[in-house]
Structure 1
Amino acid sequence: MIKKMFLATCIVAFSMYSCSSDDDNNTRPAALDPETAPKASVDRFSENAGTLMVRTATNGLPEANEPINYDSGAPFITQGFSPSGDVVRYYNFDVQSTNPAPIFLFFDTEGNAVENQINLIDVIPGDAGYNDFWQVNRVIVSDDYVANTITSMQDLLASGYEIQATSTIVNCPVVPEGSTASMRLGSEDNEIHMGWYKDQVVYYFSFFEKILDGGASNIVPLSPIYVSFNINPDDSNPESGPASGFVSETGTDQTHNVIASLPQDDFYSPLWSVNVYDNMDFDIVNNLSSAGMANILATGVATVNCPVVFME
């Protein structure tokens, strides 16, 4: 139900509202058209936004506002193993916090999503408090509310409308317009969606292989992942660890990274707590059991957003 309501607010078509009188024009804010409104500048690879994926003069990561093709291979997609040793693939959206950011969805008093209204956020990559993971908040508007007259947090707070916080957390990375990430599990929607940010339009993906529950603490759940790098992490060597890339089988993209849960598991989360094992043990690791027997060099070194999009 949450998925259907959430997707219902991602409609991009928009009909301009015509006021019936001069008095209405004076008292109602003008609706904005998402198709013609200004677009926010988005850069996932700036020093402020990125952690493992920060643009340099040589690594070729896209510039600000340049579309990102997450289907283009490393470093954006990784092939690893499931707990039982089957092949899985997952996108890499870099380090994210366990503290979700708020996203606001608009509903009428009968609980129906407001037609044509797009969702509202108040932070984008590079802003303090940004997260790919969003806590869903329901905004209950009046019967005469006109879609897309609220397009900023300032508008929302000034409106006085009731805001109902939920424990539902969704994975929706904000990306530049035109970005692509076509892989999903099953029949999930793989389109890019529009939202409001400070009266500007932003674009984001949605990954619904698992709807998360933040519980009373409002924290993004974690699940373990076991990885190995071409050069074992060494604080004295900046080229070690993530900078050296994952170890893979010769001539292929097959890593021996092992995830500890699958989307059908109750404890699955696309926010993975990273455990690093010695690359000398690469050949013996091919499932969760063998990963547990490897020499673990470090645990919980980062929390990374890597939604699973293929399972063998």
Structure 2
Amino acid sequence: MALPDFEAWAIFARVAQAGSFSRAAAELALSTATVSKAVSRLEARLGASLFHRTSRRLALTETGRAALEGAARIVAAGEAVEADVQTGAREPRGLVRLAAPMSFGLAHLAPRLPDFLADFPQVSVDLHLSDAQVDLVGGGFDLGLRIAALSDSSLRVRRLCGVRRSLVAAPAYLARAGRPGHPRDLARHACLGYAYLPNPERWHFTGPGGEVAVAPAGRLRANNADALTPALLAGFGLAVQPDFLIFDDLASGRLERLLPEWSPPPIALNLVMPPGALRPARVVALIAFLERQFAAAPWAS
């Protein structure tokens, strides 16, 4: 039985991640014709198309989407094996692609990365910041940080720490609108909303009376939690915010924690990785660094 066409699978994975035959060819230092022939060779072997090709766009077919995860796993395993056997490979080197939420990345991840770069001078980091959940495999990422209660998936997950969320408001807002005594009172308050909650139309709390869901209403919703901070501090409403964003404002009194006996659903800072157990040394080094940095953060729960 013939061996799998490992080279063609690796080229297919790079084309899918780059979204272009020419870009993949440039990244691999191959000709576009060589890249195209490798994908065509693989398609002929499979008896199915992996891409929809037009003059303007390249998109994965259903077969291509189903094959991409396995192809990315083959490439990662090959990189890890080579890294383990190459001379001097125990010293991490090369590029790590890392995805993280925007607000957390700016406030807490980016300030720590210089220490990592200083410790590992042969490692580079490509940091992608977005509150939208990116496709790690399809986007070619080595690691991702996600702050959520994660659903089941094929990704490998490592929990770094719990993240407390609190209902907060500025003293000026409370002086004008009063303090809610129960989550149901929020129906009468101006609520500043975060669009990327699992269900932004409902805020859920658990406390002495069990679980309560309320429908928040207010004049501002944003897809980035930092964008709510100016309106929150100016007294335009109250919001449920993660403690890593409001830690300093709570300590200074610019914000006050409300309904402390009622808690939103628990979430955590998670490190997520594509499937597979083998990681290049550069990725292993960044994983260990992130674990050390965030296991005992002052805002962690």
TM-score normalised per structure 1? 0.27
Larger Rg: 2
